[in-house]
Chains A and B, each alone.
Chain A
Amino acid sequence: MDRLTLKNVSAYYRQLIVNKEVYVRAVDDVSLSVKKGEVLGLVGESGCGKTTLSKVMMMNINPPLEFIKGEVQLTRRDGEVIRLHKMSRRLLKNFVWGKNISIVPQEAMSALMPTLKIKRIAYDLVRSHDPNAKLEDVVERLEKRLEELGLPDYIADRYPFELSGGMAQRTVIAVATLLNPEVLIVDEPTSALDVLTQRIVLKTLADLMVKNIVDSMVFITHDIAIVRQIASRIAVMYAGKIVESAPTEDIIFNPLHPYTKGLIESITSLEPEVRKRGVKYIPGQPPQLINPPQGCRFADRCSFVMEKCKKEEPPLIKIGEGREVACWLYVKR
């Protein structure tokens, strides 16, 4: 069953360049669904629109970002379907964010107000949904959640800067899931952490699923080796579009899209397979998002490029069970 469904959504940044208004097409015609009990890994190059897509999933659209088209639907635990793209910002803030869908943002550690204690931050969050919430109740709840995630409960009384990176990251996770949202989005939760701490944070996130605190998760990262440890499915994003999505094992062992292949081959882990081939990368750079080329956006860097790729955009087609890819190589003629 789908928890979160995106249908053909586009969201552009409006930008002024030398007195001319242009659009930065950071999310362009994306369809995606996150199922119940699933951790979806969202990977892609820096600047390809992952963070923007996370904003769309929340329908947290602020100028200069504009929602151009599409549908964003969330199915609640009680079965009711809410259409986020139809709701006002105020409604979303009071009834949806934090409660049905929540996010741990990319700059999570600097996003905690440095002058407030953790319990105060949690209290503000809860109160935005329930103006009558009492501080004691929230603190009790927070301490319980911290404990569930293996954190000491005295953290509630600390200021954010008194916590180490890993602790701060996990605290943000605890606060974001305080109201047991159906869907949790985590944006680059491990990129600033060392390997030991990364492992602990991953465990914390896995616990959220095991303990049914959240139903589904979207894990945004550029590090495939990390996301493969936790994701059941991986979607690969390139220049504002989803180019491939498949179960994790398929992506790792049998990537279809040339970009995904390049990604997998560039990974440096300490395994013999990797050591033999050395550090690789995909030459060239992604197209600009202001005036993207009309054909496939990866065409410039692709080693399998054909005539057709430069003219027509490949559709995202279904290939086998739960696999989708947008590449002319796989379109049967």
Chain B
Amino acid sequence: MVTERLEVRSMKLIELLYLLFNNKRFIIGFGIIFFELILAFMGPLLYPVDPFDTNNPPSLPPSEEHPFGTDRFGKDVFALVVYGIRNSLYVGVLTGTFTILIGLTVGLVAGIRGGIVDEVLMSFTNVVMIIPNVLLAILILTYVGVERSGLELVAAVLSITTWTGFARAVRAQILSLREREFIYLSRMAGFSSIKIAFQDLLPHLATFILISFVNYMNVGINGEVGLSILGLTSISIVTLGKLLYFAAITQAFLFGQWWTFLIPGAILILLSASLLLIATAIDEVFNPRLRRM
């Protein structure tokens, strides 16, 4: 019961990996991601078809020549999906990175500095929290011009409002760690705040950061879908979300062209689900309470 908390923390990386690969959720999630990554990176080599080539016959159902068929414009759906996965993952990773970076910086600085810095940063966080994120995204994207905005901007627009919860959680954890004796001992050895943040605090936050990163990747991938559906992202960048968007505006559903939306949709759902599985698995393995109580 209450005894076992201390023992789990300082495990070796190998042990952790071992535990992770003994976890069913992780294996399933990782398997899916791995498969999709292979598809995204090896796909263009194994299946050298130009996704923007419109010279194929339009609206072909899956066949030997076009495994996922073609769309209304005669583009090869399989080639599109391969590109889409890559771009979707890219926007996910970017969103995850941006969100974590902003949230971590704000949370760490507020938690470590305390006092007036903390109050200012937290008020700022609370203000950002109540900004309607879709509205802000529309404003920024239309201001920049949808045609000129790349995936980087999309990720930035998504991150700019989502980091707040993470920042607050980081700050709360720092506050509970800050008064621990081992922090005092590092301070008394003349360590600067930055050194303490990196050496003493960050390891304690590592699992939380990892889990959040996976979650925010998901936010990025799904957020991009949302923005595509609103027509707020550049048409020339193929993502899974964009494929769904095209299927919708070309009324693929009415024409019974299921391959143009079911396949990218399924892959998108699998991607999100696998990320969630991985996040839960990491939590199970790293969080002693879930692991053992």
Contact = CB atoms under 8 A, between A and B. Distances in A.
> Quick check: do A and B touch in the complex, using CB within 8 A?
yes
Interface of A: 60, 62, 97-98, 102-103, 105, 107-108, 110-114, 121, 124-125, 128, 172, 175-176
Contacts of B1: 97-98, 102, 124-125, 128, 176
A114 B176 contact: yes
Interface of B: 1-7, 176, 289, 293
A114 to B, nearest CB: 6
**Which 9 residue pairs across A and B have the least CB separation, nearest first?**
A111-B2, A105-B3, A125-B1, A124-B293, A111-B5, A98-B1, A113-B289, A112-B2, A103-B3
Contacts of B2: 105, 108, 111-113, 121, 125, 172, 175-176
* Chain B interface main SS type: helix
Contacts of A175: 2
Contacts of B5: 110-111, 113
25 contacts: A60-B3, A60-B4, A97-B1, A102-B1, A103-B3, A107-B6, A108-B2, A111-B2, A111-B3, A111-B5, A111-B6, A112-B2, A113-B2, A113-B5, A113-B289, A114-B176, A121-B2, A124-B289, A125-B1, A125-B293, A128-B1, A172-B2, A175-B2, A176-B1, A176-B2
A23 B162 CA distance: 51
Contacts of B6: 107, 110-111
A114 B176 CA distance: 9
A62 B176 contact: no
Contacts of A112: 2
Contact of B7 (A62, A97, A98): A62
Nearest to B7: A62
Nearest to B8: A62
Identify which of B1, B4, B7 gathers the most chain A CB atoms within 10 Å of its CB.
B1
Contacts of B293: 124-125, 128
Contacts of A172: 2
A113 B4 CA distance: 11
A102 B3 CA distance: 10
Contacts of A105: 2-3
A110 B3 CA distance: 10
